[in-house]
Structure 1
Amino acid sequence: MLYFEWNRPVILALCIILFGCKKRDKEIVDDRPNIIYIMADDHTSQAFGIYNSRLASLNPTPTLDKLAREGVIFDNAFVNNSICVPSRAAIITGQRAQTNGVLDLEGSIPPEKQYLPLEIKKLGYQTAIIGKWHLHEEPAAFDYYQVLPSQGSYFNPEFRVRGEQPWPQNAVQTKGHSSDKITDITLDWLKNKRDKGKPFFLMHHFKAPHDDFEYAPRYEEYLNDTFIPEPESLYDNKNNGSVATRGINDSLSRVIGSSVSHRNLIRNQAMNIYKEDTTLYRKYRDASSIQSNEMIAWKMDSEEKAYTSKTYQDYLKKYLRCVKGVDDNVKRLLDYLEAENMMENTIIIYTSDQGFMLGEHDYIDKRWMYEESMRMPFFIRCPKKIKSGIRTDAIINNTDFAPTLIELAGGKTPDYMQGKSFKTILETGQEPENWQKSTYYRYWMHLAHRHQNPAHFGLRTKDYKLIFYYGKYWVDTDNPNAIWNEKSWGNDFTKHTPPAWEFYDLKKDPKEMNNAYNDPTHASIIKNLKKELKTQREHLNETDKNYPHIQKVIDEHWND
């Protein structure tokens, strides 16, 4: 007893120190920001107010616009390959296609290469992904997941979950629209399933507004009596494109690039939203050459123009009704965070997996290196770390997302990631002197999925864009080991297309209506861009050393 009494002050002091340390540790954990990464599918920058497009006057995204103005808006965020799976692979790995191994829609990322959640989990975060995953293998690197199988369904979606059976056999069936259900699941996880003693990293992925643009019935009247502004290039593409995208004397115009109008015989929006087939497509789908002399020259007469306008109006209203559902569901999520006093300690990112063509150049879908397809919306709200109202034209691409998120969570960018963190841009609003001045793009899936986009790569700077269409179908009779994914690339017209260059002066021609590659006044600029393009391909492990049949085309036409 005397021993205890004599040491009581010491014991009390030790208790205070020990418990005080534990309390401070808990406060440190609690003080770290939560991170919510929201991504919609094909939500292009034209379909926002903040990006000042022709659709901004429709006010399609009031919730998202408000969120963006409270943080940092990036005007030059770009995808490395404008197609779902490769883009998502770049985001989850911080790596380019030939490094992470995902070139097309059949690529996958195994759990040990799901680097973003793995790295953030090391920092003490609880991780979750809800909604569209599309990387095929189990998202096992996340602590919690409830994801759509592949593309998933708009209505009454089924979700893959962790369970007693091996992936992907554990499933949960839901009723309702996917945008609503994904948000329901996220809110349930936030309220009831997460460990509230840890900060969390949550990826909330909408399926919408991916085609076929199936919106919730409550939006049936939205924009019903509104005329949707139309792009001029829907009717007159002027000097956009090249022999690679249009053919000699426009001989490829009927089969390259899925269209709003009837121009494309293989896939157009009438087939998509009206389920319309055409006798022209049936006539030419078995043609021996996509440059057949029998191809009918395309002409936009007054009757076709009226039909195209009607198709465009129906197409955009379906698309924007899906966008409206996304915006409303983001509001549900923000309302919960506000009610729980979590807004000030939660970093919120909003983006898409790529851009999307909304009739520009009479194109639908993505895949192209043209602005509307390549540009990603990207903004971030981080009230404790960054000021509101910042807008930057710094060039970022989707391989930069993972490094940035890791550093926002308190970590360091791993050496194996090719992307670069733009955390300092968020904190200062300034672009470092040594920041990247260009971004590299590569679309591999030559003439795939009836969208019929020729394979190409290129470089985008703040002022210029250089594109090379190598037009080589990925079947090489001289190399039986050449990789070709028939499931992902199956086509009716499995042929080569002409190689060609395109160059756009984006300051003078932001809508890319004039391919100025052959304008001698740009010769020195193009020469420098080619030098940078070659350097980028080597630096990023994106050369064609493993595909000599493609490299041969590149070498033959590099100085054209």
Structure 2
Amino acid sequence: MKNLDSVRCGVRYAAVPLTLAALAGCSEGRTKRPNIIVMMTDDHTTQAMSCYGSLLVETPNLDRLAREGMLFESCYVPNAISGPSRACILTGKYSHVNGFTDNSRTFDGDQQTFPKLLHDAGYQTAMIGKWHLNSDPQGFDFWSILVGQGEYYSPLFVENGEERTEPGYVTDIITDKAIGFLERRDKSRPFAMLYYHKAPHRNWMPAQRHLGVNDDRVFPEPFNLLDDYSGRGSAARGQAMEIGRDMWPEWDLKLMTPEQLAQSYELETSGDANKDDVSRANDWRSSVMQYQAAYNRMTPEERANWDRAYAPRIAEYERMKGRVSQEELTRWKYQQYMKDYCAVIKGVDENVGRLLDYLEEIGELDNTIIVYTSDQGFFLGEHGWFDKRFMYEECQRTPLLVRYPKAVAAGVRTRALAMNIDLAPTFVDMAGLEVPADMQGRSLKDVLTSGGKTPEAWRTGVYYHYYEYPSWHSVKRHYGIRTNDYKLIHFYNDVDEWELYDLKKDPHEMCNVYNDPEYAAVRSDMHARLEKLQQECGDTDPCEREYEFFRGADQL
């Protein structure tokens, strides 16, 4: 792909002349205000984007955004889990301030959000796709949202308050709805649209056209796929997100024929299932019931295609059971995980391309600030894991691409420390509005319009706080700070453990140096930085709060 190698290698293109008038909030008759589209996926990590150097999957349309805009190498989330991350983006505030600390919460829609501010300033607003905040959207002229996590096939939407099941594949449907909104919009007003995908969230069900697309591939393994967590504390060892141990054969890996699925479902509903191992029984119940429900949403033709695609995998698994080591089984499961996850990414990338092509067709592509991001990163076998939640790099870091040729130079990469709470003030600022003083994020406009240079007096550290324990995947509550060179984490609640990582020497966070005498000065400095950052963001007693959590199936 033209210029792609330059994007990957961090080579800067010649900066185009930037006209800040394009960012001004001018009245009618003067400069047109920019449209805004926020493209967000669920659990899409930088390790699965070729513009970030991935060898797992090609993402040509996302690469186009990077090639024609700015790629953020150091964007981080303050809470690596779906609902809280979405609340942070909407409000520009940390979880402890916006009130949505974990997925069991209900988002207070009465509070200030950037879509409300844009709507009040004359923007036509829309929310389409995965909302996942347990309340109805506010501040939108049009909204059509998935119920809960949403389904991959024949998904159920609530559209402006009315339920409707849509035939087809969810990633395609969300794009259809986005294009439909743009077709019907009031063309005299600028628009701001949140275009939020379910994919590639668990359980990674590919579109019909992508079934078997990766069957002949052998994916490169992360070097720490078989991590034994030596040198780290109990939090890393006590999680429940290991590919080899914790992936559900039915739900995650699709290792059940229709006949087996029906028999298991009947066994479970009859009450005759083995309940000797309560934990495994609960996992098995959730795995079978959820997979049965997802499978049943497909049409008979879709199910037939699905059965043909997964029959060889099921047969291979049956041949392997009891005959291979746990290490071999983990490696095999990793390959199946990557085949499905990367196939789902292909659907996302294609649909991003569809929307870009439509914007170009109607002449609005270059008038629109286009942001691509995810609600957080994700583990793709690193440390042997899937899922997110930890403050470790693979999921604290999130992709961020911004295209707006009227103000953002093409092909630029920036290392400025960004956070997803920066998006709300950025959109407000670039629309020419005054950024509310209570937004805790910082506008990225100066980064975007200066060729990616880090502004003076920019942040030198990002804050993180994860709350959802005890709950899915058993990740301990923790908070911490990441700077350019180091990361300090405190796991608390039913443990009291600190971890310190030298990100220059140990970018994969394999060796905790908190108690290493050589890092005594660094440890002291990082504690001081953490305390200062907690004061700034108003989270000065993180260990004193107590939270209750709901272990519902919708947490998956």
Aligned pairs for 1:79-478 within 5 A: 79-162=77-160, 167=161, 170-191=162-183, 193-237=184-228, 239=230, 241-246=232-237, 252=238, 256-262=239-245, 264=246, 272-274=252-254, 283=277, 285=279, 303-428=325-450, 429-449=452-472, 451-470=473-492, 472=493
Whole-angstrom CA distance in 2 between matches of 1:271 and 1:452: 19
> Is residue 2:43 matched to residue 1:42?
yes
Whole-angstrom CA distance in 1 between matches of 2:55 and 2:504: 23
Q: What amino acid sits opposite 1:183 in the alignment?
A: T
Whole-angstrom CA distance in 2 between matches of 1:361 and 1:25: 53
> Is residue 2:535 matched to residue 1:538?
yes
Whole-angstrom CA distance in 2 between matches of 1:452 and 1:282: 22
SS at 1:468 equivalent: strand
- Say if 2:204 and 2:340, in contact at 8 Å, map to a contact too: yes
How much does 1:61 deviate?
A: 0.8
Whole-angstrom CA distance in 2 between matches of 1:549 and 1:32: 44
How much does 1:158 deviate?
A: 1.6
Output one character per residue of 1:13-35: Cα deviation in whole Å (capped at 9) or x when no partner. xxxxxxxxxxx964437x22111
Whole-angstrom CA distance in 2 between matches of 1:171 and 1:238: 46
- Say if 2:486 and 2:502, in contact at 8 Å, map to a contact too: yes
Whole-angstrom CA distance in 2 between matches of 1:225 and 1:39: 30
User: Alpha carbons of 1:91 and 1:181: their partners in 2 closer, same or farther (altered >3 Å)?
Assistant: same
- Say if 1:270 and 1:311, in contact at 8 Å, map to a contact too: no
How much does 1:549 deviate?
A: 7.3
Output one character per residue of 1:508-545: Cα deviation in whole Å (capped at 9) or x when no partner. 11111111112111111111111111122222122327
- Say if 2:203 and 2:251, in contact at 8 Å, map to a contact too: no
Whole-angstrom CA distance in 2 between matches of 1:43 and 1:241: 26
- Say if 1:438 and 1:460, in contact at 8 Å, map to a contact too: yes
Aligned pairs for 1:10-49 within 5 A: 26-28=28-30, 31-49=32-50
- Say if 1:87 and 1:353, in contact at 8 Å, map to a contact too: yes
Whole-angstrom CA distance in 2 between matches of 1:284 and 1:178: 34
User: Alpha carbons of 1:59 and 1:152: their partners in 2 closer, same or farther (altered >3 Å)?
Assistant: closer
SS at 1:347 equivalent: strand
- Say if 1:43 and 1:354, in contact at 8 Å, map to a contact too: yes
Aligned alpha-carbon RMSD (Å): 2.4
Aligned residues: 465
Whole-angstrom CA distance in 2 between matches of 1:82 and 1:64: 22
Partner of 1:518: 515
Mean CA deviation greater in 70-79 or 131-140: 131-140
SS at 2:138 equivalent: coil
Whole-angstrom CA distance in 1 between matches of 2:469 and 2:50: 34
Output one character per residue of 1:312-365: Cα deviation in whole Å (capped at 9) or x when no partner. 011111111111000000111011111122111111100000111111101111
Whole-angstrom CA distance in 2 between matches of 1:41 and 1:77: 16
Output one character per residue of 1:460-514: Cα deviation in whole Å (capped at 9) or x when no partner. 11111111111x2xxxxxxxxxxxxxxxxxxxxxxx3x32111111111111111
- Say if 2:229 and 2:236, in contact at 8 Å, map to a contact too: no
User: Alpha carbons of 1:227 and 1:432: their partners in 2 closer, same or farther (altered >3 Å)?
Assistant: same
Which stretches of structure 1, 4 residues or more, deviate above 6 A after TM superposition?
none
Q: What amino acid sits opposite 2:512 in the alignment?
A: N
User: Alpha carbons of 1:549 and 1:196: their partners in 2 closer, same or farther (altered >3 Å)?
Assistant: closer
User: Alpha carbons of 1:268 and 1:242: their partners in 2 closer, same or farther (altered >3 Å)?
Assistant: farther
Whole-angstrom CA distance in 1 between matches of 2:112 and 2:434: 16
Whole-angstrom CA distance in 1 between matches of 2:49 and 2:325: 31
Give TM-score, length-normalised by structure 2: 0.79
- Say if 2:502 and 2:513, in contact at 8 Å, map to a contact too: yes
- Say if 1:76 and 1:394, in contact at 8 Å, map to a contact too: yes
User: Alpha carbons of 1:270 and 1:362: their partners in 2 closer, same or farther (altered >3 Å)?
Assistant: farther
Give TM-score, length-normalised by structure 1: 0.79
Whole-angstrom CA distance in 1 between matches of 2:400 and 2:543: 34
Mark the runs of 5 or more structure 1 residues left unpaired by the alignment. 1-23, 247-251, 287-300, 473-495, 551-560
- Say if 1:502 and 1:515, in contact at 8 Å, map to a contact too: yes
Whole-angstrom CA distance in 1 between matches of 2:114 and 2:521: 40
User: Alpha carbons of 1:545 and 1:240: their partners in 2 closer, same or farther (altered >3 Å)?
Assistant: closer
SS at 2:329 equivalent: helix
Higher RCO (C-alpha 8 Å, min separation 6):
2
- Say if 1:259 and 1:269, in contact at 8 Å, map to a contact too: no
Mark the runs of 5 or more structure 2 residues left unpaired by the alignment. 1-25, 257-263, 265-272, 281-322, 548-556
User: Alpha carbons of 1:240 and 1:387: their partners in 2 closer, same or farther (altered >3 Å)?
Assistant: farther
